[in-house]
Amino acid sequence: MSESTFKRKQDYYEKVRRSNYLASLYLAGFDTSLADLDKPLPTRDEVLAKYQQDKPSQSAPALPASLTTNNTHPSPIGYLAMNLAPNFPDDHAMHLLMQLLHEELGLPERKTISLTTSINFDLGCDGADARNLMEALEEQFGIDFIDYDAYRYFQPEEFDVHLKRRAKGRGDKVPMTIGMLYQAVKSQRWDTQEMEGQ
């Protein structure tokens, strides 16, 4: 193969890669045009630097006072393509919560996500996944789980003969909604009666 043919193939595949990248951005809701094909793509280092710049500081308190009023925080890339309900909160606390849920559970793209979406029934979170999620919530947001009972919401991690009847069906489980988690993040505490009474 001659050098000029190889170079043409490289140029062609670079153009296809850029076109695919712009198409994925367009599908995710970004405004793109054919003129964007000629613009250089950011390098890996530039993307990482921008991500580090936008990422909240690890040494900062888990939930600053400005959290409930900051509506300018960019959405995490992981849940941009999701179908969110029209009344879904758009603040920093919800962005952080949705990013955590996306990382821990892998939120569905085609299902409408609302404050009443239950993570145990609708998203299928149970067992070890539920334990890991609740630990991550406690660690990242500093939530004080005053009277949280895992068996009230989730199936047990492993098979337990004594819990077989109770864990067999979902009828006796209570839905844990995204709205309940959002309220716990904002108040930094889990009070079962308060959460389920909303």
pLDDT digits (tens, 9 = 90+) for 7-27: 888 888 787 777 777 777 777
pLDDT at 59 over 60: no
pLDDT for residue 60: 40
**164 or 197: which leads in pLDDT:** 197
Task: Please measure the distance between the N-terminal and C-terminal CA atoms of the chain and give it in whole angstroms.
Answer: 69
At 11 the pLDDT is 82
Residue with the larger pLDDT of the pair 113 and 172? 113
Taking 80 as the threshold, does the pLDDT of residue 167 lie above it? no
HSE at residue 148, side-chain half, CA atoms within 13 A, is 18
pTM: 0.57
Q: What percent of the chain has pLDDT over 90?
A: 21
Mean per-residue pLDDT of the chain: 76
Give the pLDDT mean for 139-143.
Answer: 90
Q: Is the pLDDT of residue 2 over 90?
A: no
Separation of alpha carbons 57 and 96, rounded Å: 13
158 or 195, which is more confident: 195
